[in-house]
Structure 1
């Protein structure tokens, strides 16, 4: 799931009701405990020093083994759930595992609270906009700030140490309400985001894998991207996924998260995959996550997933069987209470051995030990001096502003209408239901921000403005067209801030169409007809919209997509509109026309097109239809030139003597063979900023492989964000592993390196690379 997928613990109860109730409790809290929760307090209880698990000089495995052998079965079971039990005789307090940090420390989840001690935390852009920066160093920098603020809050008793973020599901379908939480539709981008953000969250000064700043969690594993669409919800959905699509599209971000990011946790999802609940599938959990990928940490369920697989999916006949199957599959921790209620009976019935319980809680304890939870008072540990002074610092808030600016995507700019001149514009009309919003800008899984700068505030700080909402909310049942037209007719320029909010796209809420809600299109079109100056349309949303009408309307000069830009969104929008920042964001997902949703059901998980029934496929890698805007689209106020400096033309695979491909006409070879290793290719490009102003630029390296194994029509091999002053140039190098990066997944899920001509492209540059034996 994304950050703790369920805002409610019981799927039968309204998600919205529980969320509103929970948030009201959070905001009513004026103060909270002022000391952190930790075990092995040898200062208050010196006798604890003699216990092996409190001995910091021992290795983690020895300490965990010592702790587990001291517990009764009943005590062990209390450590299988997120609201973990206490064992006072051993100096172990209660611990709440569920905290969230999707794009800043969040009040979603019972483990974290804001109070008069720490009233807010830095709220970065929602993930989809940060991903649009295509800046891997930014992903990690944000993670570092979030973990610093999280540790600071832990040290004053306001947060836990285990944060169920990031959400790295592939944004497969534009209607998905939670696509806003993800890094987009591309497996490489999602993988880079996962690795970067996790490294930022978990980073320690010494870099030891046995020391975590906070514990991150990659979710929701796997093929989870439907919440509630036309009567099919996530609690009952069985995602039918081919082996090819699973290994080619859905698994890579999780694999990178575990192997490259060394994440401390993976969360299994609500849905079934090919008939098995993910939280009870031993192949997916014990087999892949822990077996193949060697997870160093714990596997947690999405909230109430075990309850769901029993009560909603009826996967087992008894609750004891559900508990046993989940634990035996590799689940270590249950968000919810199901394992706490039914595991003892499962043991007594002989459905699961106590040793399996020992194994699960050992993974949980080992994670807490890497966090220092069993090392005594945090003030004596790394990060122990962090506190309220380290939350909402100016530097942190500046990074939130910079992240929003880097992500904003300029989609249309007729005749250089943007940037606006702050001296030529005497009056700016600011119109739209998202023009003066606060909470909308931070999306979901949010916390209380340090402060807000709305779009109207950001623009009004530069020039005089006239504001008209135009609609009472984004639903825009009835547009107030006349007042909006009057404002635009007398203004030197008009900015329309439209789009969506959590009432349109959210957890538990998928869209049915790709049109702007209600009468938004009418408002935009009517205002554009009478506007005296240039009209700039700003779309605030997670997913894309069919804005073909605006793209093709000559009166609408510019279009910007700003995602949900976080606490500083208004300042970032103003900086881009008035040229104080040169836009460099690129779309991390395809924007489809409305016709797409009319012929593609959300429940069809196939990525690849099917000509026999007109199915067009999904994402830029496979989609064969028309687009409104494409993955990677985005303009700037600069023009950038690319020049290929160095790239190989032929790569020879040194197969061992007698290989079958010497005697038969092979179209591909196994990418995991001994011969297919260390085939690194160096590709060098020169990039020049031809403009007089500075700007950021993302270099995308794509490949179009030979047409074998239903390969992608193109896929992203690498990307690099550079910042260049006016007229400056830079050399950018990519190291491509031919076997890893140029290979494709075949129909059986095996990685193959296609023989023949691969076409590499960067912008308008194309380069042919032949792979042969």
Structure 2
């Protein structure tokens, strides 16, 4: 997982824990609903005068108000605010607050701060992140974030949600077995970074507020970029995530130090190098893991709490801070000043998000702003944009409903509803299943084919085979679900579960019409048998397409929408898994293990990263561009050596320079004409890669440096312009971790 910088960096892992009964510990309970703490009527209700509390003086800077609030608390009261369910302090007018809410691809009901009931029965459920990433559409990502945050604010006004959402998950998918890959933007760091920037801005940005001070800029809701920083193992081969070699404020340790107790990671990197304007929160129960699993330095609970506070972890998802922080201070294992600093960080965020003062432009949001027609259509459009066409022999797709009137719809996902949501989902507004979607186009005969996704029973195969015999075309909807991949659940292979492959093969033999295979999954599936079998005329990957997924799939199959999605992950062959253990965290090839992701793996794959077809064809023409840059060497910019392969004769006299040695402000541009030479309007994703000079040991084969999705009408063209910083786009990281700019070759780029 790469470290990423967002407008607000808050790093967590959200492992769902049972809601602990802590009502007896709470020191404030409010009846009635106040949407802002600093409401004079609210203080009157509790027999208080708001004017006596400077933290409610909106004319003061946030840091002054936060300090005043913290200074009024006793140590015991302070530590009771450090858990994800903060208890509040009644005597000074501070209410309870539930920090943990989720908004990965819609407002979810995970955590303690969000719930659905008769008053708020649902919120729009967009496609899972991996399918949103497949759109390669930055503006769409921001629009989804804006829609989600609007519904979040509406739910907050109705008392059904908080204002701090622990999303998005921007970890990099290193291994195809990882159960949480569906939550992420895929395997490329640049794509993941651009997704994070746009989705976070959609969640957080308050229109028409351009305050230069990031510590006081208002937030629509507070976003979270998780998990900091390397996290892609759940439970595999007897190894769980408590012991992986990774970096995050979570269960694992790095170089022997638990991440939540490492000041270099939390203070030096997050607050120092990345200039955090927010708070750091732990993976749920991460401090407990330090004591019970890591047994780090044989720590007592007070030791672990003290180390985490001193390292810069502000908020604990769990009970340990509340239970042991006071004793840690009394025993000299933490300072009360550390507690104060953490609380100030927390309250400044709550002030920015309007918890204390409100944000007038959002106070009118209510039930009418949930599940709007606009948001539901956006969910359907996102699914259509993300669907990837993997195969289309002889232009079988799109189907013509006038010619193919009788359709067989077969498979464990043929009538999917909740399965389309993936994980970290809430209650959707409605469902449009594949059966619903295809029924809108003609007569459909539906057969399950499998008892469920695990497909451990052959009983349902024969009725499906019979249905395909009589159909003009057969749509097979197969794949995975949360019983196969998800949090706490890594995969053991890349194959379709159970008898799904046998179902497909038997239907192939029996069907009289074309076979269309649709895969629902959040990770790679080795379907080599279907890819190479010409009887399977077309293959689509639909991820987990959200509440409107069935309509979106049918619209693509029947040509109402021309697919333009691209794979954000490599689809490896199943034998890849025998080449390396999941516990090997390196991306580069090491110890006879192959490399990971398209950047370092050079073996055979089922489908490569960035792959995706269309119902039309595009041609690219590169315009004139300056591809040569001269940098004057000298004492201040010396040459740096790089290791080249022994048989390489092209090593230049000055292999590289250190990027830190000079101010790298040079840019280069690409001007690409994209022409649609087919008969159908379509969307094209232009992916630009840079390649390092040939022969450098250990570097990537290529890497994405830019992308744009453009609509091009049939017979028309679009000019796509890119501007790149030389060092950011052409620089490499050596084995010694130095960032270097290598001497170039005549061509340092390619595009797809």
- Which residue number in structure 1 is paired with residue 265 of structure 2? 284
- Work out the CA distance in 1 between the residues paired with 2:184 and 2:570: 14
- Work out the CA distance in 1 between the residues paired with 2:119 and 2:742: 59
- Which residue number in structure 2 is paired with residue 635 of structure 1? 613
What is the CA deviation profile of residues 148-202 of structure 1, one whole-angstrom value per residue up to 9, with x for unaligned ones? 0000000010000000000011011111110000000000010001111000000
- Work out the CA distance in 2 between the residues paired with 1:278 and 1:741: 30
- Which residue number in structure 2 is paired with residue 598 of structure 1? 578
Given the alignment, which residue of 670, 689, 692 partners 1:702?
689
> Offset of 1:69 from its aligned partner?
1.3
What is the CA deviation profile of residues 285-340 of structure 1, one whole-angstrom value per residue up to 9, with x for unaligned ones? 10101011110000000111111111111114211110011111110000011111
- Which residue number in structure 2 is paired with residue 689 of structure 1? 676
Given the alignment, which residue of 260, 273, 276 partners 2:254?
273
What is the CA deviation profile of residues 228-259 of structure 1, one whole-angstrom value per residue up to 9, with x for unaligned ones? 1011111x22316xxxxx8xxxxxxxxxxxxx
- Work out the CA distance in 1 between the residues paired with 2:147 and 2:218: 17
> Offset of 1:273 from its aligned partner?
2.5
> Offset of 1:115 from its aligned partner?
1.7
Contact kept in structure 1, 2:16 and 2:110, CA below 8 Å: no
- Which residue number in structure 2 is paired with residue 520 of structure 1? 500
- Which residue number in structure 2 is paired with residue 299 of structure 1? 280
- Which residue number in structure 2 is paired with residue 262 of structure 1? none
Contact kept in structure 2, 1:426 and 1:492, CA below 8 Å: yes
- Work out the CA distance in 2 between the residues paired with 1:502 and 1:461: 28
- Work out the CA distance in 2 between the residues paired with 1:599 and 1:622: 14
Given the alignment, which residue of 210, 224, 227 partners 1:217?
224
- Given the superposition, is the C-alpha separation of residues 458 and 658 from structure 1 closer, same or farther in structure 2, using an over 3 Å criterion? closer
> Offset of 1:34 from its aligned partner?
7.0
Given the alignment, which residue of 94, 97, 111 partners 2:113?
111
The answer to whether structure 1 residue 679 and structure 2 residue 677 are counterparts is no
Which structure 2 residues correspond to residues 168-317 of structure 1 after superposition, within 5 A?
Answer: 168-207=170-209, 208=211, 209=214, 210-234=217-241, 236-239=242-245, 268-316=249-297, 317=299
> Offset of 1:456 from its aligned partner?
1.2
Contact kept in structure 2, 1:3 and 1:101, CA below 8 Å: no
Given the alignment, which residue of 620, 632, 655 partners 1:654?
632
- Work out the CA distance in 1 between the residues paired with 2:540 and 2:595: 27
> Offset of 1:674 from its aligned partner?
2.6
- Which residue number in structure 1 is paired with residue 536 of structure 2? 556
- Which residue number in structure 2 is paired with residue 736 of structure 1? 724
- Which residue number in structure 1 is paired with residue 564 of structure 2? 584
Contact kept in structure 1, 2:627 and 2:668, CA below 8 Å: no
- Which residue number in structure 2 is paired with residue 256 of structure 1? none
Aligned with 2:398: secondary structure?
coil
Given the alignment, which residue of 414, 431, 448 partners 1:469?
448
- Work out the CA distance in 1 between the residues paired with 2:596 and 2:729: 21
Given the alignment, which residue of 320, 325, 333 partners 2:302?
320
**TM-score of the superposed pair, with normalisation by structure 1:** 0.90
Contact kept in structure 2, 1:593 and 1:627, CA below 8 Å: yes
Count of paired positions: 713
After alignment, is 71-80 or 659-668 more displaced?
A: 659-668
- Given the superposition, is the C-alpha separation of residues 658 and 129 from structure 1 closer, same or farther in structure 2, using an over 3 Å criterion? closer
What is the CA deviation profile of residues 411-431 of structure 1, one whole-angstrom value per residue up to 9, with x for unaligned ones? 011110100001111100000
- Work out the CA distance in 2 between the residues paired with 1:646 and 1:54: 59
Given the alignment, which residue of 24, 30, 35 partners 2:33?
35
- Which residue number in structure 1 is paired with residue 96 of structure 2? 94
Aligned with 1:312: secondary structure?
helix
> Offset of 1:205 from its aligned partner?
1.8
The answer to whether structure 1 residue 721 and structure 2 residue 703 are counterparts is no
- Work out the CA distance in 1 between the residues paired with 2:509 and 2:31: 58
Contact kept in structure 2, 1:211 and 1:372, CA below 8 Å: yes
> Offset of 1:759 from its aligned partner?
2.8
Given the alignment, which residue of 51, 54, 58 partners 2:53?
51
- Work out the CA distance in 2 between the residues paired with 1:212 and 1:123: 22
Given the alignment, which residue of 129, 132, 136 partners 2:131?
129
- Work out the CA distance in 2 between the residues paired with 1:669 and 1:709: 16
- Given the superposition, is the C-alpha separation of residues 639 and 724 from structure 1 closer, same or farther in structure 2, using an over 3 Å criterion? same
- Work out the CA distance in 2 between the residues paired with 1:78 and 1:691: 64
> Offset of 1:498 from its aligned partner?
0.2
> Offset of 1:526 from its aligned partner?
1.0
- Which residue number in structure 1 is paired with residue 326 of structure 2? 344
- Work out the CA distance in 2 between the residues paired with 1:360 and 1:177: 32
- Work out the CA distance in 2 between the residues paired with 1:36 and 1:604: 51
What is the CA deviation profile of residues 456-487 of structure 1, one whole-angstrom value per residue up to 9, with x for unaligned ones? 11011111011110000011112322211111
Contact kept in structure 1, 2:205 and 2:220, CA below 8 Å: yes
Contact kept in structure 2, 1:700 and 1:716, CA below 8 Å: yes
- Work out the CA distance in 1 between the residues paired with 2:691 and 2:530: 32
Aligned with 1:332: secondary structure?
coil
- Work out the CA distance in 2 between the residues paired with 1:64 and 1:186: 39
What is the CA deviation profile of residues 539-587 of structure 1, one whole-angstrom value per residue up to 9, with x for unaligned ones? 0000111100000111101110000000000000000000000000000
Aligned with 1:681: secondary structure?
strand
- Work out the CA distance in 1 between the residues paired with 2:637 and 2:14: 52
Contact kept in structure 1, 2:12 and 2:281, CA below 8 Å: no
- Work out the CA distance in 1 between the residues paired with 2:34 and 2:487: 31
Contact kept in structure 2, 1:38 and 1:92, CA below 8 Å: no
Aligned with 2:80: secondary structure?
helix
- Work out the CA distance in 1 between the residues paired with 2:676 and 2:429: 36
> Offset of 1:614 from its aligned partner?
3.3
- Which residue number in structure 2 is paired with residue 251 of structure 1? none
Contact kept in structure 2, 1:3 and 1:100, CA below 8 Å: no
Aligned with 1:45: secondary structure?
helix
Q: Supply the RMSD in Å over aligned alpha carbons.
A: 2.0
> Offset of 1:356 from its aligned partner?
0.8
The answer to whether structure 1 residue 444 and structure 2 residue 432 are counterparts is no
> Offset of 1:272 from its aligned partner?
1.9
- Work out the CA distance in 2 between the residues paired with 1:477 and 1:620: 34
- Which residue number in structure 2 is paired with residue 490 of structure 1? 470
Contact kept in structure 1, 2:407 and 2:472, CA below 8 Å: yes
Contact kept in structure 2, 1:646 and 1:682, CA below 8 Å: no
- Given the superposition, is the C-alpha separation of residues 652 and 517 from structure 1 closer, same or farther in structure 2, using an over 3 Å criterion? same
**TM-score of the superposed pair, with normalisation by structure 2:** 0.92
What is the CA deviation profile of residues 709-755 of structure 1, one whole-angstrom value per residue up to 9, with x for unaligned ones? 52110100100010111112111111110011211111122211111
Which structure 2 residues correspond to residues 415-434 of structure 1 after superposition, within 5 A?
Answer: 415-434=394-413
What is the CA deviation profile of residues 95-132 of structure 1, one whole-angstrom value per residue up to 9, with x for unaligned ones? 00000000000011110011222110000000000000
> Offset of 1:360 from its aligned partner?
0.7
After alignment, is 39-48 or 113-122 more displaced?
A: 39-48
Contact kept in structure 2, 1:3 and 1:166, CA below 8 Å: no
- Which residue number in structure 2 is paired with residue 760 of structure 1? 749
Contact kept in structure 2, 1:40 and 1:92, CA below 8 Å: no
- Which residue number in structure 2 is paired with residue 144 of structure 1? 146
- Work out the CA distance in 1 between the residues paired with 2:525 and 2:540: 12
Contact kept in structure 1, 2:149 and 2:204, CA below 8 Å: yes
> Offset of 1:43 from its aligned partner?
2.5
- Work out the CA distance in 2 between the residues paired with 1:37 and 1:226: 40
- Which residue number in structure 2 is paired with residue 261 of structure 1? none
